[in-house]
């Protein structure tokens, strides 16, 4: 039995979006989500961007596509070439609305302390999109400065960072600052509808969950060893492959899926058991991260979440979340479920771009002055991923409380191109690789 | 620094490209004539992957649909007479098994594991640009082995053809829109290659009502009269042309056209043909034209967006053709047959 919720209309709407949008309609103009109404829409919101990679630039574009008067005024990156390319791309993107980008030469900041200069430049909102290792430092500084924040996930790479973000999140609430976190599934209509139905008991009590980020891996290292002026520059350019910067791929990507399970469960795991390793991506240019993890998370009530993430080509791929309930099962990512009694449901509604919606929601809250703070669940889902990494690297169960009681800090003591990161290669260019059974993680 | 090194790398790529062009002279179908064209199976070296090619005879046909065709759209007319040169066409849509060899370097990886030395063809193929890795799983969990590759940009599909040409020593490219429709019709003049009755569609095509919301393995339905599978439905297929709504109008009155193609000058909209698992029957008609838009990348969170992947074109794939008469360098340039990778690669 299939539910007949005005499928014909919504299906046509979806088709319009997916195949037949009018010629010349750009991404930005086609979104046109003007669902929220706010007073004082003409008040200018000044935006700063910290971290000018592809994602930071994309986030800036989405921020500048929100309703009302919004302007990019300051930018920061560790590298001037990244900053320049980002600005160029944004100017191209906004060639029809050039007034949205007004970054004066003296508001382009380069280096490790550039973020502070952006915060000091008088912006109202800052986008934090550097490699995640820097996020706690940047977020704390933004809150101290009293600036609203959009920060990309994950929000840290180690426990010390998570604790810093949680403390700053509390402070942000006290200061009534709005904080958005780039876990965009929370702003994705099919997810919202599906999770709400599951919470309403559509498939009974949730008895277990499973989730995956199995894919072929991400970008290749960008900088050759021979072209690096220092170890710090080498790791910064190739940040995905170093734990202090990225937190491994369970943290950097798989957090999305882990977070969905936490969202459904309305809780965070108390314990993790994991295994994984570095089977295929073994070349020294791939730094120190693993290429596969399989982690079992345990919640306080005994419910388990089974998680896999893999960066190996030509294997079974899936980037999905699923829930098993006492009365049925759900493909959360597919926005469909079926009950043991034979009832089938699938989301047929509209699918606005979640990357835009998350900015629309944040900026609407900023303009209205309504409380808005995603930092806490962002930090705790980040912590869940880190917990999985700790259990996998050590080969032993690790509890949330044990991890949170530790003070392991992966970050360098100081930040400069001459500073030494916490892990360095041996004479042959190989990094120490975490070894289950031998590696101490706490 | 990266910004300085990058052009250098690209330069090297271009030199390698030129070298590959010289090798490409051997891509000619020496001695083959229309009469000797046969179906054949091509093996992709250093993999277990094969694909089948079907000969398509040259001939004349009428492009577009008659004014009276049910559910016809304005851009399908007026009908134009077109002369088509013979070519081979992929019996099936390109599958993930084939596509991932290129996009994930599986041939190079296998060569290394088995310690096989690269021959001249392999070296030429290695020099063709391969895409950056997708940031997420591009099958969207709908299936891999035997399923059509999807979500690639037209540039990626063209670059795959370029790679496949070097790899196999046979010249492959995307079909033109006219070639595609000619092959789809397979001598028929009805709305579909099996007639006008959409109720027969289930025998020949995967479409919205019978596909369970997903693409299907290639070749599971009946072929068209020329032995091509899934021309209607399953996934829409990239062709070479820019979408120009009144293209046929501009071509009309010029007699029988030879090799008509609207060489793209803009990124959007470009054409896919055949309709998909996500489409209604009328969109699967032989003459129906579907075109790309920037919305096909709406969920790509990066700026600039990937030049290789769409994030929302989960109904788009492609199939390859191999013309009997291999185009000259001038023809390739004139018709924009070769992929042109932008200087700033996007990522």
CATH at A172: 3.40.50.720
The whole-angstrom separation of Cα B27 and Cα B169 is 5
Residue A219 sits at the chain B interface (C-beta within 8 Å) = yes
| Distance of alpha carbon B143 from alpha carbon A86, whole angstroms | 36
Same domain, A136 and A211: no
With CB atoms and an 8 Å threshold, state whether A26 touches B294: yes
Same domain (yes/no): A341, A401: yes
Which two structure tokens, joined as six digits, stand for B54? 């079907």
Same domain, A154 and A199: no
Coil, strand or helix: which one is A418?
coil
Q: Give residues with Cβ within 8 angstroms of A427, minimum separation 6.
A: none
Residues A332 and A194 in one domain: yes
Burial of A14 (0-12, 13-18, 19+ CB in 10 A): middle
Distance, CA of B246 to CA of B289 (rounded, Å): 12
With CA atoms as reference, the chain B residue closest to A30 would be B295
The Cα–Cα gap between A220 and B132 comes to 8
A121 is written with which tokens? 């430049």
Whether the CB-CB separation of A400 and A212 falls below 8 Å is answered with no
Residue numbers in chain B where pLDDT is lower than 50: 1-25, 346-347
Distance CA B224, CA B227 (A): 5
Q: Assess whether A155 and A222 both reside in one domain.
A: no
Which residue, of A140, A156, A185, is where some domain finishes? A185
Would you say residue A442 lies in a domain?
Answer: no
Residues 340-399 of A with CB under 8 A from B: 346, 353-355
Binary contact (A27, B303; C-beta < 8 A): no
Asked if A237 lies within 8 A of B347 by C-beta distance, the reply is no
A422 falls within a domain: no
To the nearest whole Å, the CA of B145 is away from the closest chain A CA by 10
> Judged by CB atoms within 8 Å, which residues 258-277 of B form the interface with A?
268-269
Q: In angstroms, what separates the C-alpha of A138 from chain B's closest C-alpha?
A: 21
Q: Would the CB atoms of B298 and A353 count as touching at under 8 Å?
A: yes
Query: B151: nearest CA in chain A?
Result: A18
Rounded CA separation B307/B297 (Å): 10
> Is residue A2 included in any domain, yes or no?
no
Q: Kindly report the three-state secondary structure assignment for every residue of chain B.
A: CHHHHHHHHHHHHHHHHHHHHHHHHHHCCCCCCCCCCCCEEEECCCCCCEEEEEEECCEEEEECCCCCCCCCCHHHCCCEEEEECCEEEECCCCEHHHHHHHHCCHHHHHHHHHCCCCCHHHHHHHCCCCCCCCCCCCCCCCCCCCCECCCECHHHHHHHHHHHHHHHCCCCECCCHHHHHHHHHCCCCCCECCECCHHHHHHHCCCCCCCCCCCCCCCCCCCCCCCCCCCCCCCEEEEEEECCCCHHHHHCCCCCEECCCCCCCCCCCEEEECCCCCCCHHHHCCCCEEECCHHHHCCCCCCCCCCCECCCCCCEECCCEEECCCCCHHHHHHCCCCCCCCCCCCC
Query: Which residues of A fall within a CB distance of 8 Å from B342?
Result: none
Could you tell me if B12 lies within 8 Å of chain A, comparing CB atoms? no
Q: Is B1 on the interface with A (CB under 8 A)?
A: yes
B2 reaches A (C-beta below 8 A): yes
CB atoms under 10 Å from CB of A174, counted, come to: 9
Angle formed at CA A433 by CA A398 and CA A215, multiple of 5 degrees:
80
Asked if the C-beta of A319 comes within 8 angstroms of chain B's C-beta atoms, the answer is: yes
Residue A8 in domain: no
What CATH number does the domain containing A306 carry? 3.30.360.10
Instruction: Determine, for residues A219 and B344 on separate chains, whether the beta-carbon distance falls below 8 Å.
Output: no
Report yes or no: B105 at the A interface, CB cutoff 8 Å.
Answer: yes
Q: Select the residue from A8, A10, A18, A81 to test the B interface by mutation, using most B Cβ atoms within 10 A.
A: A18
Domain membership of residue A62 as a residue range: 45-185
Same domain membership, residue A380 and residue A397: yes
> Is B294 close to A355, i.e. CB distance below 8 A?
no
Predicted pLDDT of residue B135: 84
Say yes or no: A179 and A211 in one domain. no
Q: How many structural domains are present in chain A?
A: 2
Contacts of B299 in chain A (CB under 8 A): 353-355
Residues of A in contact with B213 (CB under 8 A): 346
B278–A215 C-beta distance less than 8 A: no
Distance from CA of A371 to the nearest CA of B (A): 26
- Asked whether residue A225 falls in the same domain as residue A256, the answer is yes
B312-329: pLDDT as tens digits: 999 999 999 999 999 999
Question: Chain A partners of B315 at a C-beta cutoff of 8 Å?
Answer: 18-19
Is A108 in a helix, a strand, or coil? strand
pLDDT of residue B344: 62
In A243-282, the residues whose Cβ lies within 8 Å of chain B are: 253
Contact status of A15 with chain B (Cβ, < 8 Å): yes
Residue A287 falls inside a structural domain: yes
B residues 15-44 lying closer than 8 A (beta carbon) to A: none
Q: Which of A187, A59, A251 is nearest to B300 (CA)?
A: A59
pTM here is 0.89
Return the residue in A314, A334, A357 with the most chain B beta carbons within 10 A, the one to mutate for interface testing: A314
My answer on whether A181 and A307 are in the same domain is no
Residue of A nearest to B113 (CA): A280
Domain check: are A198 and A179 in the same one?
Answer: no
- Domain assignment present for A431: no
The shortest CB-CB distance from A27 to any of B139, B144, B294 is to B294
Task: Copy the structure tokens of residue A45.
Answer: 């919101």
Q: Which candidate in A2, A12, A13, A19 is best for mutational testing of the B interface (most B CBs within 10 A)?
A: A19
Interface of A with B in 162-191 (CB under 8 A): 184
- Domains belonging to chain B, first-starting first, are 11-346 (3.90.1580.10)
Are the CB atoms for A136 and A144 separated by under 8 Å? no
Please judge whether A216 and B104 are an interchain contact, meaning their C-beta atoms are less than 8 angstroms apart. yes
Tell whether A292 is covered by a domain. Answer: yes
Residues in chain A closer than 8 A to B105 (CB atoms): 313
Domain boundary among A185, A200, A231: A185
Alpha-carbon span B177 to B251, nearest angstrom: 14
Task: Determine the distance in angstroms separating the CA of A235 from the nearest CA of chain B, rounded to an integer.
Answer: 13
Rounded Cα–Cα distance for residues A33 and A54 (Å) = 23
Helix (H) or strand (E) holding A58: helix A54-63
Q: How many CB pairs under 8 A join A and B?
A: 124
Which residue bears the tokens 């992966």? Answer: A410
Distance separating alpha carbons of residues B58 and B253, to the nearest angstrom: 22
Residue pair A339/A327 in contact by the 8 Å Cβ criterion: yes
- Looking at the fold, whether A256 and A393 belong to one and the same domain comes out as yes
Question: Which of these, A70, A73, A82, lies nearest to A110 by C-alpha position?
Answer: A82
pLDDT of res. B31: 87
Query: Which of A133, A139, A126 minimizes the C-alpha distance to A56?
Result: A126
Residues of A in contact with B274 (CB under 8 A): none
Choose from B293, B310, B315 for mutation: most chain A CBs within 10 A: B293
pLDDT of res. A322 = 98
pLDDT of residue B23: 47
| A85 and A50 share one domain | yes
- Give me the pLDDT at residue B343, please: 76
User: Using the beta-carbon criterion (under 8 Å), do A319 and B137 form an inter-chain contact?
Assistant: yes
Q: Which of B7, B10, B104, B295 to substitute to test the interface with A, most A CBs within 10 Å? A: B295
Contact between B138 and B299 (Cβ < 8 Å): no
- Which residues numbered 173-192 in B keep a CB inside 8 Å of some CB on A? none
Q: Which portions of chain A are predicted below pLDDT 50?
A: 1-41
In-domain check, residue A288: yes
The ipTM assigned to this model is 0.86
Nearest partner of A20 among B282, B192, B308, B185, judged by Cα: B282
B168 phi/psi in degrees, rounded to 5: -100, -20
């Amino acid at each position: 039995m299939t539910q007949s919720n005005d499928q014909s209309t919504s299906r046509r709407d979806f088709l319009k979006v997916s195949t037949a949008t009018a010629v010349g309609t750009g991404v930005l103009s086609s979104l046109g989500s003007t669902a929220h109404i706010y007073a004082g829409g003409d008040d200018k919101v000044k935006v700063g961007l910290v971290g000018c990679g592809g994602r930071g630039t994309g986030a800036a574009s989405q921020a500048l596509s929100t309703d009302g008067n919004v302007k990019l005024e300051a930018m920061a990156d560790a590298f001037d070439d990244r900053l320049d390319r980002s600005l160029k791309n944004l100017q191209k993107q906004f060639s029809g609305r050039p007034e949205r980008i007004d970054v004066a030469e003296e508001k382009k900041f380069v280096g490790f302390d550039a973020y502070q200069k952006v915060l000091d430049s008088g912006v109202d909102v800052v986008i934090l999109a550097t490699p995640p290792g820097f996020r706690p430092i940047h977020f704390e500084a933004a809150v101290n400065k009293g600036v609203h924040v959009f920060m990309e996930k994950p929000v840290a790479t180690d426990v010390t960072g998570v604790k810093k973000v949680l403390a700053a999140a509390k402070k942000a609430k006290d200061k009534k600052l709005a904080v958005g976190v780039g876990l965009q599934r929370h702003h994705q209509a099919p997810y919202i509808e599906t999770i709400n139905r599951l919470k309403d008991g559509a498939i009974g009590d949730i008895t277990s969950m499973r989730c995956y980020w199995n894919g072929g891996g991400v970008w290749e290292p960008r900088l050759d060893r021979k072209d690096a002026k220092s170890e710090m520059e080498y790791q910064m350019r190739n940040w995905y492959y170093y734990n202090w910067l990225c937190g491994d791929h369970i943290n950097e990507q798989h957090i999305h899926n882990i977070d969905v399970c936490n969202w459904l469960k309305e809780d965070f795991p108390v314990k993790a058991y994991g295994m994984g390793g570095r089977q295929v991506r073994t070349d020294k240019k791939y730094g120190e991260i693993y290429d596969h993890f399989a982690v079992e998370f345990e919640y306080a009530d005994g419910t388990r979440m089974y998680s896999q993430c893999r960066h190996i080509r030509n294997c079974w791929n899936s980037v999905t979340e699923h829930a098993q309930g006492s009365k049925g099962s759900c493909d959360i990512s597919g926005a469909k479920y079926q009950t043991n009694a034979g009832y089938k449901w699938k989301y047929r509604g509209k699918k606005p771009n979640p990357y835009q919606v998350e900015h629309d929601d944040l900026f609407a809250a900023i303009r209205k002055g309504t409380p808005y703070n995603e930092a806490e669940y962002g930090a705790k889902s980040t912590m869940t991923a880190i917990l999985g990494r700790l259990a996998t690297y050590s080969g032993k169960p690790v509890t949330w409380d044990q991890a949170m009681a530790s003070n392991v800090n992966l970050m360098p003591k100081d930040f400069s191109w001459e500073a030494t990161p916490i892990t360095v290669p041996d004479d042959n260019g190989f990094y120490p690789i975490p070894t289950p059974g031998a590696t101490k993680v706490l | 620094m990266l910004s300085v090194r990058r052009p250098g790398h690209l330069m090297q790529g271009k030199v390698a490209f030129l070298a590959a062009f010289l090798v490409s002279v051997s891509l000619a179908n020496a001695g083959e004539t229309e009469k000797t064209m046969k179906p054949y199976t091509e093996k992709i070296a250093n993999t277990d992957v094969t694909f089948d090619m079907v000969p398509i005879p040259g001939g004349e046909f009428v492009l577009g649909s008659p004014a009276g065709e049910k559910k016809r759209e304005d851009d399908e007319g007026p009908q134009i007479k077109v002369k088509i040169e013979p070519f081979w066409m992929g019996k099936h849509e390109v599958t993930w098994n084939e596509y991932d060899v290129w996009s994930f370097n599986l041939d190079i990886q296998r060569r290394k594991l088995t310690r096989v030395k690269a021959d001249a063809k392999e070296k030429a193929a290695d020099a063709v640009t391969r895409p950056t890795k997708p940031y997420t799983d591009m099958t969207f969990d709908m299936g891999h082995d035997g399923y059509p590759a999807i979500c690639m940009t037209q540039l990626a599909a063209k670059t795959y053809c370029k790679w496949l040409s070097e790899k196999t020593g046979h010249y492959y490219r995307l079909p033109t829109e006219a070639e595609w429709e000619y092959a789809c019709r397979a001598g028929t003049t009805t709305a579909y290659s099996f007639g006008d009755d959409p109720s027969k569609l289930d025998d020949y095509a995967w479409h919205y009502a019978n596909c369970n919301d997903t693409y299907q393995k290639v070749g599971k339905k009946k072929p068209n009269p020329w032995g091509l599978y899934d021309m209607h439905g399953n996934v829409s297929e990239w062709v070479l042309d820019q979408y120009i709504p009144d293209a046929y109008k501009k071509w009309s009155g010029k007699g029988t056209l030879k090799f008509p193609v609207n060489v793209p000058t803009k990124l959007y909209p470009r054409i896919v043909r055949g309709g998909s698992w996500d489409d209604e029957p009328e969109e699967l008609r032989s003459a129906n034209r579907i075109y790309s838009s920037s919305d096909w990348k709406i969920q790509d969170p990066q700026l600039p967006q990937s030049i290789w992947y769409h994030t929302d074109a989960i109904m788009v794939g492609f199939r390859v053709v191999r013309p009997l008469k291999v185009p000259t360098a001038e023809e390739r340039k004139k018709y924009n047959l070769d992929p042109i990778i932008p200087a700033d690669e996007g990522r």
